Amino acid sequence: MAMLPLCLILLTNLLHFLSAQQTNGYVSVGASLTATPNASSWLSSSGEFAFGFQQIQGNDNFLLSIWYDKIPDKTIVWYPKDGHTVPSGSKVELTGGTGLVLTDPEGKQIWTSGSISNIASGFMNDTGNFVIIGSDSRNIWESFNHPTDTMLPTQVMARGGVISSKMSKTNFSAGKFQLRFQLDGNFVLYTLDIISGSTGNPNYNTGTFNVSSSTNSGYQYIFNATGYMYILKGNGEKYELTPRDSLPSGDYYHRATLDYDGVFAQYYYPKNSDGNQRWEVVWSEPENICKIDGGGACGLNNVCSLEDNRPICECPQGFSLLDSNVPNGDCKPDFAPSCDEDYREEQFDFIELNNIDWPQHDYVHMDPSNEESCKTSCLKDCFCAVAIYRDSQCWRKQIPLSNGRKDSSVIVKAFLKFSNGNHSLQRPEFSREDKNRRSLILLGSALLSTSVFVIIFLTSVICIGFFRVYKKRSLNPYPSSKAVEATLPRFTYQELVKATDGFKVELGKGAFGAVYKGVIGTKMVAVKKLHSLIQDVQKEFKIEVNTIARTNHKNLVQLLGYCDEGEQRLLIYEYMSNGTLAGFLFEDTRPSWKQRSNVAIGIAKGLAYLHEECSTQIIHCDIKPQNILLDEHCDAKIADFGLAKILMLNQSRTNTGIRGTKGYVAPEWFRNTLVSVKVDVYSFGVLLLEIVSCRKSVVFESDNEDMEVLTDFAWDCYQKGLLDTFVENDSEALDDYKKLTRFVMVGLWCVQENPSLRPTMRKVIQMLEGGLEVAEPPCPFPYSLTSFKSFNECG
């Protein structure tokens, strides 16, 4: 009989356990939550934070997350990194063996906190940190150590930590903005390139790194319990992020979130509110993301303006959103000027946009100019899509336009070319309200459109120098891949004979053919006549030309058009008024150190783009001063990229297979090893040493044996600390000794015989710009056999 009360006690305990798996923030092993509209959650002891499933706005799916449970909008502060949403009926369980396990209704595992064992319990802390406690009472896993887009008071980030913005308000996949607390101690906001994942220049950084001493570089990023954020340096100093005394006194929630618009903001919210409150901003960076080149707040052709320190993106008149769900995405032109043979200026007119500028990627700059001549010159030029008029100067631009910004404090006019009549499309004029309505209507259809189309389209928009939508096809909002192929203007041979006045003025001769000066419309061009090709290369020619056309970077010579007629294959490029880098470096007067270092960084950026940022990776294979051109501002532009593939493809069967030019060629060309982008890094290293020293890579006639091979000489001078000899006592370079040393060291890293030791071009840029410390380079040729060495300096 004594058994009964005992059983009852056990039973009530069991019932209690089943009904409330959680008390005082603790969660027992075996407890689970199911995703349903009114699902329960695991609360912290104060009830301020909850862990569980939250239904996503405008969506039937759920997100496993942690949120402020007492705030009406249940602001989310954490979710698993990939931001996957799950359907109703999905389950999360705290298991004894693998911690938190998220499964879909079929039982398939979607996410887990990681394989960990001997778990005692889970704990939803009042700080917003969900902790898994081991049987030894230590914390095995913490949501604070896996932040997604938000940081909370008492949370600390070590070097190497990253948080990512979400994609949009309701899409929790990782977006294009990142906050990195770098290994060097710098705290940096970046915009990622969607395709390559690489970063450009920082949108904001604290500069808490120190190249020469690590003790005063950043050590921890701390959000303290009072609500102040700062970088704690190695020497105990604080670099304050939250301005001193900026927080209101009283009981407030605090958080800092890298929002989907690219702004990292710290917010507060009164704890005991009547429900009519909202999150207020105390501090945010960057100050004006619209003004940052490459900030990427708005997509291509889109225009950014600032409202309350936040970017608002709006397609300009004549453009509409590529994906109506993504207002900060790319805009597509409703009609784009084309360079058809029947281009006539009478067919076009302008839409005038005030205070709007796209300050990058102009290909013609007229100074001085007036409004009328600015417009006329754009009308006459079939390549011109937009003319910008400001301060009596005129810039002509092609589509896609990037970094568009609206700023009423600047007096600037943008003239957007559009086809005037004989056109089935009407001139579009949407106000923002119209667009919102349209968005709703389009939402359904956009969801139905296949992502493949979107990807093809996006890719093409991003890398294409020209955007041509054929008149016939312009009613189709999603051009087929065929349309993408046809984006580059094609010219007949006769037109080019005319444009070059019968190939009268030769600008130069290269491995691939001669280059002639020409004029198309009013635009000066360089026409490259390629050596005749073997017939079966024909198909590759088209593919490669389109690959080249899809590149668009300020350090690459822009391909404007091509001709493919029988045996005749010609490429039309923008004309570069300042000739080649070879002329710049080795002739007449020595250019200044500042100019030289700018040129070096420009080339590095162009190469990094070819290697990492364009949709198709391009290995140049023939980097040398003759292939680098300088525009009117002496900015470097890489020429002849993409050609190695067309022209050498077949020759490699017949000759030794060595591409490129002697002296710049990476050693692996002579071996039977795989050729990668690292061959370009090698050539860049040689080029960098040439730019630094104004000496040629190989000098044959010299009496001085030591100076024959530049890479040897550079290593020798570097080792002996004789950089003054290396730069021939260039006083400007010597005054900038730190940078000079850095450049030489980077050069020596790039020419390492072992390709895997050479840095990527991305790293090269960071090292050249001083954002990344350069380690001591080892001897570049530890096992070099021959030709490259003329004396045994490494012995």
Ligand X SMILES: *[C@@H]1O[C@H](CO)[C@@H](O)[C@H](O)[C@H]1NC(C)=O
What is the nearest approach in angstroms of ligand X to the Cβ of residue 58?
A: 10
Q: What is the DSSP letter of 231?
A: E
What is the nearest approach in angstroms of ligand X to the Cβ of residue 451?
A: 7
Instruction: Compare residues 55 and 112 and give the one whose CB is closer to ligand X.
Output: 55
- Contact present, 10 and 3 (Cβ < 8 Å): no
Instruction: Compare residues 284 and 551 and give the one whose CB is closer to ligand X.
Output: 284
Per DSSP, the three-state class of 702 is coil
Strand segments (E) across 104-216: 109-112, 119-124, 130-134, 139-142, 150-151, 156-158, 161-166, 174-181, 187-191, 204-205
With CA atoms as reference, report the closest residue to 735 among 635, 603, 592, 598: 592
- Contact present, 153 and 227 (Cβ < 8 Å): yes
Is 69 annotated in the active site?
Answer: no
Main-chain dihedrals φ then ψ at residue 237, nearest 5 degrees: -70, 160
C-alpha span between 123 and 141 (Å, rounded): 10
- Contact present, 263 and 287 (Cβ < 8 Å): no
User: Percentage helix, strand, coil, to 5, in the chain?
Assistant: 25, 25, 50
Q: What is the dihedral of CA 783, 785, 790, 792, to 10 degrees?
A: 40
Place of tokens 């069967």: 653
Candidate list 184, 622, 640, 730, residue with the active-site label: 622
Main-chain dihedrals φ then ψ at residue 206, nearest 5 degrees: -90, -10
What is the nearest approach in angstroms of ligand X to the Cβ of residue 654?
A: 46
- Token output for 393: 């100067």
Instruction: Compare residues 83 and 316 and give the one whose CB is closer to ligand X.
Output: 83
- Contact present, 507 and 515 (Cβ < 8 Å): yes
Per DSSP, the three-state class of 280 is strand
C-alpha span between 681 and 704 (Å, rounded): 28
Q: Which residues pair with 562 in a beta bridge?
A: 490, 571
C-alpha span between 518 and 735 (Å, rounded): 43
Place of tokens 């898994």: 132
Instruction: Compare residues 329 and 333 and give the one whose CB is closer to ligand X.
Output: 329
- Token output for 265: 């903001």
What is the nearest approach in angstroms of ligand X to the Cβ of residue 167?
A: 5
Instruction: Compare residues 102 and 636 and give the one whose CB is closer to ligand X.
Output: 102
Instruction: Compare residues 145 and 393 and give the one whose CB is closer to ligand X.
Output: 145
Instruction: Compare residues 226 and 476 and give the one whose CB is closer to ligand X.
Output: 226
Residues lying near ligand X in the complex (CB under 6 A): 37-38, 85, 123, 125, 127, 131, 139, 154, 167, 171, 173, 224-226, 228, 230, 238
C-alpha span between 6 and 3 (Å, rounded): 5
Instruction: Compare residues 88 and 741 and give the one whose CB is closer to ligand X.
Output: 88
What is the nearest approach in angstroms of ligand X to the Cβ of residue 175?
A: 9
What is the nearest approach in angstroms of ligand X to the Cβ of residue 473?
A: 25
Instruction: Compare residues 5 and 37 and give the one whose CB is closer to ligand X.
Output: 37
- Contact present, 490 and 562 (Cβ < 8 Å): yes
Instruction: Compare residues 172 and 466 and give the one whose CB is closer to ligand X.
Output: 172
With CA atoms as reference, report the closest residue to 312 among 340, 339, 289, 342: 289
What is the nearest approach in angstroms of ligand X to the Cβ of residue 130?
A: 10
What is the nearest approach in angstroms of ligand X to the Cβ of residue 136?
A: 13
C-alpha span between 481 and 462 (Å, rounded): 14
What is the nearest approach in angstroms of ligand X to the Cβ of residue 139?
A: 6
Is residue 305 within a helix (H) or strand (E), and if so which, with residue range? strand 303-307
Place of tokens 């822009």: 558
What is the nearest approach in angstroms of ligand X to the Cβ of residue 470?
A: 28
Q: Which residues pair with 568 in a beta bridge?
A: 565
C-alpha span between 322 and 301 (Å, rounded): 10
Instruction: Give the angle 478-482-487 at the CA atoms, nearest 5°.
Output: 85
Catalytic sites, residue numbers: 622
